[in-house]
Structure 1
């Protein structure tokens, strides 16, 4: 059983998948940094200095005790984080599209296989069978 498991793990597909998952994590960190540190400040600049991560709809205000500590945190819908995640998804999708497109350009185009020579038609085959049966 261990030998079968080892053989399964050592197949190319599993190793390729492991490499892809590790690279996806690294690409995700790079893209998230790009979106939050480069794209969102530019978008915030054009929207009047609004930071999307600060956008929220407060359902219940936070309750602050007399000593200044928060006894009940606020309950809010943080839709700005959702907008940030959507922009992140679009950028990741575009980057992956460009990578796949570049990869497909590097692959050799398969030359079309030469067409098989046209054989006898169905009528010719039937006539040949008829002639053989007559003999």
Structure 2
């Protein structure tokens, strides 16, 4: 069983997947910061200073007006945190856009590499006699 586990871990696909997960986690942190520190303030300018992260509706429990979302959660209130959902949607859209642009760029690079391969002059094989020419030569030698 240990040998099977070693073989599984040593496969290239597992290592590629591990690298992808690590890079994905780091990328998520970057996107969260981008949304919280760059996009939210811009959205706030267009919405009159509205900050989505602390937007919620109290379903049950006592929460003083103006209490932050985190403090309301700590107080044990049941909340409908629509601001967090809006931020999750924005995060998703940003990640989807970046992944789209990345895949688009990789596809263009692949197409450019393939077109260079097609443009490269093909190496011509030395021309020898065709099959018909060989057969005719054999026929003529047999006639003699």
TM-score after normalising by structure 2 = 0.66
For the residues of structure 2 that align with 1:63 and 1:50, how far apart are their CA atoms? Answer: 20
Give the secondary-structure state (helix, strand or coil) at the position aligned to 2:49.
coil
Q: Is residue 109 of structure 1 aligned with residue 114 of structure 2?
A: yes
Q: Please identify runs of 4+ aligned residues in structure 1 that moved more than 2 A.
A: 72-75, 108-111
1:61 CA displacement: 4.1
For the residues of structure 2 that align with 1:59 and 1:5, how far apart are their CA atoms? Answer: 49
Q: Which residue of 1 aligns with 2:81?
A: 78
For the residues of structure 2 that align with 1:91 and 1:81, how far apart are their CA atoms? Answer: 15
Gap change, CA 1:109 and 1:61, over 3 Å in 2: same
Q: What is the aligned counterpart of 2:100 among 97, 100, 105?
A: 97
For the residues of structure 1 that align with 2:81 and 2:107, how far apart are their CA atoms? Answer: 40
- Does the 8 Å contact 1:58/1:77 carry over to 2? yes
Q: What stretches of structure 2 of length at least 5 have no aligned partner?
A: 65-71, 119-144
Q: What stretches of structure 1 of length at least 5 have no aligned partner?
A: 65-69, 112-135
- The aligned length equals 105
TM-score after normalising by structure 1 = 0.70
Gap change, CA 1:82 and 1:109, over 3 Å in 2: same
For the residues of structure 2 that align with 1:74 and 1:3, how far apart are their CA atoms? Answer: 52
Relative to its length, the structure with more helix (as a share) is 2
Note the aligned Cα RMSD (angstroms).
Answer: 2.1
For the residues of structure 1 that align with 2:108 and 2:3, how far apart are their CA atoms? Answer: 39
- Does the 8 Å contact 1:54/1:80 carry over to 2? yes
1:73 CA displacement: 3.4
Give the secondary-structure state (helix, strand or coil) at the position aligned to 1:23.
helix
Gap change, CA 1:63 and 1:98, over 3 Å in 2: closer
For the residues of structure 2 that align with 1:100 and 1:32, how far apart are their CA atoms? Answer: 21
Relative to its length, the structure with more strand (as a share) is 1
